[in-house]
Amino acid sequence: MSGRGEYGAGRSHGVQSSGTRRLRGAAALLLSAATGLGLATFSGKLTGNPFTARAQELTGAAIAVDRAGSGTGDTVAAFDSSSAGMRDTGHAASPLPVVADDHAPFDMAGERRRVGPAPGAALAMHAEPAPFALQADVPAEPAVGRGAPETGTGTATPGAASGNAATPATPAPAAATPGAAHPTAASVPDAAAPGATVPARLTEMIGNQLIRFTPNVGEQQALAAFYGARGYQPVFTGGKGIAPLGQIALDQFAASAVEGLNPADYLVPALPASPSDTQLAEMELRLAATTLLYARHVQSGRFDPKIISKDVDPNPTVPDPAAVLATVSTAPNARAAFESFAPQYDEYRLLKTQLARLMTEGQAVSHAAIPPGPSLRPGDNDPRVPLLRARLGIGGAPEDSVYDPMLVDAVREFQRLSGQSADGIVGRGTLAALNAGASGDRLHDIVANMERWRWVPHDVAPVYVMVNIPEYMVRIVVNEQAVHETRVVVGKPENQTPIMSENMQYAVFNPSWNVPPGIIRNEMLPKLMADPYALERQGIDVVRNGRIIDPGSVNWSRGAQGYSFRQAPGERNALGRMKFMFPNKHAVYLHDTPSRSLFSRDRRAFSHGCVRVHEPLAFAEALFAVGSPGEGWSQQRLSRLVGGNEKSLPLKQRFPVHLVYFTTYVDGTGQLVTREDIYGTNAATKAILGLDGTRRVADRGAAVRPR
């Protein structure tokens, strides 16, 4: 079977062993020192804004319990992860097996160890809270834009964490389309009563003015059908002002920063003290249209992710606008209905909690950049040491330029939290991470990663496989708990593993490798021109018209057109002993590899796009335990399939495989950690959203800065 198989091997490096370590108390602030904070996206005053209570809810701070405001008398308590059925830590909690003799910690899981001087350093670095506020220079009307593409529309039902299911809207009559006249709604019994002519005004505006409220054709049709089905009676307004549902919507828009959104996009001009019925109708449609915009943004994102590159190919679940209106207008708890549109994955909500904490604290730490130079090793004397001490909050005299053990420990903690080898050596990678933190970009990284969570299918499957590309890890997740995890090797920057989701269907044992055209053209043809038998020595056959031919009989300077290349099953096969198939247009899959030494490296971007899995038999056992439960596919039984001809083993139950790209996440110890942006996708996300300091253009479909 063709695909982006793997070809070639790398040299083995030492690896760090596993275990579990937790940074306590003030040590949680160390990553703030590592990556800095940025609040430039939002400026102004926080005090008195609805965001304050929402941020306090998410952080668990003591706040007054406020009313849901939907007329039910329901109360909303402070956000509590355990009562929401949510874990306090991310997936990466289980220990990983040792793959080398080195006993340094591996990745995010490791043995407990004493807290070094770095936590104390973090306390010294903690800035006084600065006020957080919303943008001051905002337009008078909401920035209504296209956001995620209209194709691939999904349902907008509450997520798994929300227990309030909405009753579907009554089917709209065929005549309820934009531009159609609706004379039955224009008849009002008492035109003198407050708001009495609002239905008539709504009829007129829906008939010929909907484009003023949203350019999205699907949303225009949904608005027309929704109000037509209810006889053009308002739902967000009532009498001479805002109805309870309208106030909940306004509160949600104003507090949208807690979802990593920009409140300026959802501003609705206030009603005058004594509004006319025309103004009430206008407010009604503006609130309804902005609700649709908000639901689309928070559920499926603010731009089409495919504009980043051909390898960014997810299919976000765009909410059905008719279902959105039905949900918010009929749910017993309207606030919960609004919150159901956000991603319902635990990891998203953990990031949301971290975002609220940073916003509430108002942290904004900045540091002087540390100049480049030779690698700094323990015991070295270097004039950059005072800057390094200041960067990590380690005290010392200005003239103290010795890289002493206390500073080395602080550097090791920094390296661990930023996903590097905790060797205490300040080389180019560590120096770049230290200086990246000086830009105050930590908050922006959280927002960009929350945005990418919207690219994952909205419905949380009870079982799924998730490969986090920058983390070089794969997990099998059951009911939002990781039941198996292991290291992976992913694609090189020039051969990126795509961001996508498809269903796992079967495994193949003793696979053949049909070499993809790109590898033939770029890697194999030059070898054949130099030595026609170079590939034969690697067990790769040249095939023409279904028959193996002598590669020495071909003039390879004319190209490889008409020839195919196949590697038979065996120990040298680039796919190893097995591959795990989720058929997709990118022809990528998870598979074994003969180049197992690469799993010992911290940075594991070496493949041609497919994902190589460490200890594939253990992964297969866990996969079939959830995909074919009760059939007893143990490692011992599976190993009997290894050897001989190619064999296919289907799964009885299929489930999604999500290839995702999260550079900032909460790990198994509850720490917020960052990983290298190996493909530049995080930087591209921030640029499109305007988090690099420029005004966001994503919603308007303007040209996006190329990567």
Q: Let me know: does 63 contact 78? Beta carbons within 8 Å.
A: yes
Q: E strands, 188-285, where?
A: 237-238, 241-242
Dihedral sign for Cα 536, 542, 548, 551, please. Answer: negative
Q: Angle of helix 405-417 relative to helix 118-125, nearest 10 degrees? A: 80
Q: Let me know: does 203 contact 185? Beta carbons within 8 Å.
A: yes
Q: Let me know: does 584 contact 500? Beta carbons within 8 Å.
A: yes
Q: Let me know: does 450 contact 291? Beta carbons within 8 Å.
A: no
Cα 617 to its chain centre, rounded Å, is: 29
Q: Which residue of the set 591, 608, 614, 658 is catalytic? A: 591
Tokens 């905002």 found at: 138
Most distant pair of Cα atoms in the chain: their distance: 96
Q: Which residue of the set 458, 610, 614, 658 is catalytic? A: 610
Residues 6 or more apart in contact with residue 536 via CB below 8 angstroms: 542, 551
Residue type, 102: D
- Give the C-alpha separation, 42 to 257, whole Å: 8
Q: In this structure, what token pair is assigned to residue 691?
A: 């988090």
Q: How many CA atoms lie within 13 A of 187 on its CB side?
A: 2
Dihedral in degrees, nearest 10, Cα atoms 426, 432, 433, 437: 120
Is 91 a residue of the active site?
Answer: no
- Give the C-alpha separation, 208 to 196, whole Å: 21
Q: In this structure, what token pair is assigned to residue 500?
A: 């996508």
Is 591 a residue of the active site?
Answer: yes
Q: Is 600 exposed, middle or buried (0-12, 13-18, 19+ CB in 10 A)?
A: buried
> Which of helix, strand or coil describes residue 620?
helix
Q: Angle of helix 346-361 relative to helix 442-453, nearest 10 degrees? A: 150
Q: Angle of helix 428-437 relative to helix 405-417, nearest 10 degrees? A: 80
- Give the C-alpha separation, 278 to 210, whole Å: 14
Q: In this structure, what token pair is assigned to residue 662?
A: 């999260």
Q: Specify the pairing of strand 473-478 against strand 463-468.
A: antiparallel
Q: In this structure, what token pair is assigned to residue 630?
A: 């009760």
Q: Angle of helix 277-300 relative to helix 198-208, nearest 10 degrees? A: 50
- Give the C-alpha separation, 504 to 488, whole Å: 17
Q: Which residues are catalytic?
A: 591, 610
